[in-house]
């Protein structure tokens, strides 16, 4: 029965990956990259310094450069055609499950709940949840000051839960007013117009958003979580997961990870990691 289940799971994986190709089926994303020379990657399109798409060009940022490095490693250095798809917080799991994308590299933090639906490779870097306020705000200096304040709620993101819920799913268990937004770029607009008191999410996201208008916004520099940014894969694609983990290890060993962090965040004031994070077990 166990062997039969494994065979059925492999067949389901091949059918799903076939949706990304007109003529072939593949047992894993790694195999598709090697044999077809193409891959579809989901990224954010509205996060400066991480992944920002402007005009007709491809997105640019740290996540995009990490994705390119990983794909090239999986292809043994051969050229691969990458198709970029927008992947927001609310639809990342669905895009993987229905085969619209082969992998998601989009400030995608590993959580226990998400692991029920996604196989995570990496993490490739660790971010930390922090808080951003308007530059003239003096009444909010740390995360616990968000009691009874208006904070942003983005569908699919766990950041607001870290504030409003207690452990184990949350962190601080504060009473705050949640103001909905479709993305963190919309949260920034609401903060600037006075519709919010603060935006709280990963420091890399906030640093990218605030760095383009540093006189208007400020980070509290009061991190209180570890957010393990990983590569999201269709549940069960362990072969690609293991290959990505090898690529991530090499990216840190050869200095590429540190160079990319400095390139995209060196001027933001963030304390940048200097060592590779511990790899997630592929499952």
Q: What is the pLDDT of residues 93-121, one digit of tens each?
A: 999 999 999 999 999 999 998 999 999 99
Q: Are residues 6 and 116 in the same domain?
A: yes
Q: Are residues 15 and 122 in the same domain?
A: yes
- Give the other-Cβ count within 10 Å of 7's Cβ: 10
pLDDT at residue 283 in the model: 78
13: tokens are: 């994986």
Q: Rounded to 5 degrees, what angle do the CA atoms 6, 7, 8 make?
A: 90
Nearest in space to 239 (alpha carbons), one of 35, 23, 13: 13
Residue 275 lies in a domain: no
Q: Are residues 104 and 237 in the same domain?
A: yes
Query: Residue 168: is the preceding peptide bond cis (ω within 30°)?
Result: yes
Q: Residue 70: which CATH number?
A: 3.40.190.10
What would the DSSP string read from start to end of the chain? -HHHHHHHHHHHHHHHHHTT-SS---SSHHHHHHHH-EEEEEE-SEETTTEE--TTS--BSHHHHHHHHHHHHHTTT---EEEEEE--GGGHHHHHHTTS-SEE-SS-B--TTGGGTEEEEEEEEEE-EEEEEETT--S--SGGGGTT-EEEE-TT--HHHHHHS-TTT-SS----EEEE-SSHHHHHHHHHTTS-SBEEEEHHHHHHHHHTSTTTEEE-------EEEEEEEETT-HHHHHHHHHHHHHHHHTTHHHHHHHHHHTTTT-----SPPPPPPP-
Residue 272 lies in a domain: no
Q: Are residues 233 and 256 in the same domain?
A: yes
**Alpha carbon 151 to chain centroid distance?**
21
Residue 47 lies in a domain: yes
Whole-angstrom distance, CA of residue 248 vs CA of residue 206: 24
Q: Which domain holds residue 162?
A: 129-219
pLDDT over 90, % of the chain? 83
Residue 278 lies in a domain: no
Q: Is the pLDDT of residue 22 over 70?
A: no
pLDDT at residue 211 in the model: 86
The model's pTM: 0.89
Mean pLDDT across the chain: 91
pLDDT at residue 17 in the model: 54
Whole-angstrom distance, CA of residue 237 vs CA of residue 242: 9
Whole-angstrom distance, CA of residue 65 vs CA of residue 51: 9
Q: Are residues 47 and 162 in the same domain?
A: no
pLDDT at residue 3 in the model: 40
Q: Are residues 22 and 59 in the same domain?
A: yes
Q: What is the pLDDT of residues 40-91, one digit of tens each?
A: 999 999 999 999 999 889 999 999 999 999 999 999 999 999 999 999 888 9
Q: Are residues 249 and 117 in the same domain?
A: yes
């Amino acid at each position: 029965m166990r062997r039969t289940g494994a065979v059925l799971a492999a067949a389901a994986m091949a059918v799903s990956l076939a949706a990304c190709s007109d003529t072939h089926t593949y047992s894993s994303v790694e195999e598709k990259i090697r044999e077809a020379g193409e891959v579809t990657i989901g990224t954010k399109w509205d996060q400066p310094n991480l992944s920002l798409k402007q005009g007709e060009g491809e997105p640019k940022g740290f996540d995009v450069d990490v994705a390119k490095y990983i794909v090239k490693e999986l292809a043994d250095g051969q050229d691969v055609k990458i198709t970029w798809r927008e992947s927001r917080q609310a639809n990342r799991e669905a895009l993987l499950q229905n085969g619209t994308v082969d992998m998601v590299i989009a400030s995608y933090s590993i959580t226990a709940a998400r692991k029920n639906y996604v196989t995570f490779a990496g993490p490739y870097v660790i971010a930390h949840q922090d808080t951003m306020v308007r530059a003239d705000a003096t009444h909010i200096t740390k995360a616990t000051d968000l009691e009874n304040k208006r904070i942003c709620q983005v569908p699919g993101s766990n950041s607001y839960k870290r504030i409003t819920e207690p452990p184990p799913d949350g962190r601080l268990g504060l009473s705050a007013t949640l103001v909905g937004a479709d993305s963190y770029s919309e949260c920034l607009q609401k903060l600037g117009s006075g519709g919010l008191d603060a935006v709280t999410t990963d420091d890399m996201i906030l640093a990218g958003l605030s760095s383009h208008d540093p006189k208007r916004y400020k980070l509290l520099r009061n991190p209180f979580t570890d957010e393990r940014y990983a590569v999201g894969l269709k549940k069960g694609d362990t072969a690609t997961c293991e290959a990505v983990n090898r690529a991530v290890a090499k990216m840190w060993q050869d200095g590429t990870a540190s160079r990319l962090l400095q390139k995209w965040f060196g001027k933001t004031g963030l304390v940048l990691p200097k060592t590779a994070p511990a790899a997630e077990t592929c499952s």
